[in-house]
Amino acid sequence: MRIIDTPSPNWDERSLPISMIVLHYTGMQDAEGAIARLRDPEAKVSCHYLVAEDGTVLRMVDEAKRAWHAGRSHWREVEDVNSASIGIEIVNPGHDWGYRPFPDEQMDAVIALVAQIKDRHEITRGNVVGHSDIAPARKRDPGELFPWHRLARLRLALPRPTKGLMDPNWTEAGFCLALERFGYDVTDRMAAIMAFQRRFRPELIDGEIDAECRMILLALLLPKPQGDA
Ligand SMILES: [Zn+2]
């Protein structure tokens, strides 16, 4: 894979070991604007890698350093997600500027990049997440069009459970407790439910807990024979 160095000054030192990968969309009208912003000292944002729609990969911050992509966020035990993660920006106008499917050439590059990083830092599948998973009340990226199933097929992300599903019949409070156990910040319940749906049941994102949501979440929480949760 060819990686073009395009350094951003927006980084500092990590205070945690690397244990996560966070995927984003750029959410700007074009790639040029997004790259300029990610290199602008005034903007105070950055990422480790940016993947263009044609599959070109830019390296903007060294993996050893802490890039500024997650903002206020939370996943499992981690509060300072920037310190614990590698951030990848994927060029797409996003929900505000004409959200569209991610081209195959772009996804091939994302997959190759995630595979390398996951391997290098021994990151578990359950810690390969979207920005909306770690900041559900603020973010929708990379969004419901992101083909998580392509990553899951290669064991780069958790698959949507499909087999042996059972409805645990949790109450809303029970569901939210389970969602928190899985890793989400559930302070804003509706936002957390929608983030979960966007990731694991993208065809219906309505913020309503239904039997299918309960079944998927239960299956995700049951211990996996291979570990790597
Ligand atoms: Zn983002």
Position 171, amino acid: T
Report the pLDDT value the prediction gives residue 57, as an integer from 0 to 100: 98
By the 8 A CB rule, do 133 and 183 touch? yes
- Read off the pTM: 0.97
What tens digit of pLDDT does each residue of 126-180 get? 999 999 999 999 999 999 999 999 999 999 999 999 988 999 999 999 999 999 9
Which candidate, 64, 36, 66, 29, places its Cα nearest to that of 50?
36
The rounded Cα 9 to chain-centroid distance in angstroms is 23
Share of the chain above pLDDT 90, in %: 95
Comparing C-alpha atoms, which of 165, 164, 168, 166 is closest to residue 181?
168
Q: Residue 40: phi, psi to the nearest 5?
A: -90, 115
**Angle, alpha carbons 87-120-57 (nearest 5°):** 45
CA–centroid distance, residue 166 to ligand 1 (Å):
33
Q: pLDDT for 24-51, tens place per residue?
A: 999 999 999 999 999 999 999 999 999 9
For ligand 1, the distance from its centroid to the CA atom of residue 174, given in whole angstroms, is: 29
H/E stretch holding 84 reads: helix 81-84
Segment 4-20 shows an average pLDDT of 98
143 CA distance to ligand 1 middle (Å) = 10
Closest alpha carbon to 134 in 187, 70, 193: 70
How confident is the model over 105-120, as pLDDT tens digits?
999 999 999 999 999 9
**Active-site residue list:** 89
Domains of the chain listed by start with CATH number: 3-153 (3.40.80.10), 172-221 (no CATH)
Distance CA 91, CA 150 (A): 18
> How many angstroms is it from 23 CA to the middle of ligand 1?
7
pLDDT tens-digit map of 192-217: 999 999 999 999 999 999 999 999 99
Q: How far is the CA of 110 from the centre of ligand 1 (A)?
A: 15
Distance from the alpha carbon of residue 163 to the mean position of ligand 1, in angstroms: 31
